[in-house]
Amino acid sequence: MFIIDKSHSKKDIIELLKCLNVVIDKSLSKGKIVNDIDLYIDKAIYNNKIKNKTELIEYLQTKTTKQRPNIQEKNDIMYKSKRIIKYCNSYCNLSDVTYLTHEEVYNDIISISKWGDIPSVRRACRLYNSTPYHISHVNPIISAEVKEEMDNNKTLKQTFITTLKIKRGTKDDPILVSFN
């Protein structure tokens, strides 16, 4: 028996083992799942993401890469993100409501960029990078799970652009408009 790092949530463990074709009842408590983890590991069918039993155990023993701010941090992050978004949408206008200097904006964007799993932070970074007053380009730090989810959503959203074909004809051959 080994010790699972406490940073892994019940949902994380269930999703990880689901990728390895092990079904766990969601109604079970995290303590029960952790106690029976050896059973689940033995049933696992390994894949390219996790290749063997020792790799799975090492993954569970190390701290998770998912970003989880506490309530106070999340409120602070959201407040800063909203201020930056307001600053960018108001054409980088410095005021008492948003910011007094461009350096303040840069300091706030640097402080929240490590929470890139939060959509508002990604939006604030994207808007800040598109402003003419940005001091340096800032990329949000995004965990692998969220990046993979974003890529999957991106491929789902891709659609074919419909085209318009216009053919001119005579009285005998009427105009035909078709959408492909």
Which pLDDT belongs to residue 108? 96
- Which 3 state secondary structure label does DSSP give 31? helix
Between these two residues, 177 and 43, which has the higher pLDDT value?
A: 43
Instruction: Find the Cα–Cα–Cα–Cα dihedral 31, 34, 36, 38, rounded to 10°.
Output: -170
Is the pLDDT at 85 greater than 70? The verdict is yes
Average pLDDT score over residue span 66-78: 91
CB burial of 10-39 (b: ≥16 within 10 Å; e: otherwise) equals bebbbebbeebebebeeeeebeebbeebee
Q: pLDDT digit string (tens) for 44-54?
A: 888 888 888 89
How far is residue 110 from each of residues 28, 123, 160, measured CA to CA in Å?
40, 14, 37
Is the pLDDT at 101 greater than 90? The verdict is yes
Which pLDDT belongs to residue 159? 63
- What is the residue whose two structure tokens read 């689940």? 40
CA distance 164 to 180: 7
Alpha helix ranges (H) inside 62-143? 71-89, 102-112, 119-130
Which pLDDT belongs to residue 177? 67
Which pLDDT belongs to residue 167? 63
- Residue 95: which pLDDT band, with cuts at 50, 70 and 90? confident
> What pTM does this model have?
0.70
Average pLDDT score over residue span 88-111: 92
CB burial of 158-171 (b: ≥16 within 10 Å; e: otherwise) equals eeeeeeeeeeeeee
- Residue 71: which pLDDT band, with cuts at 50, 70 and 90? very high
Which helix (DSSP H) or strand (DSSP E) does residue 132 occupy? Answer: none
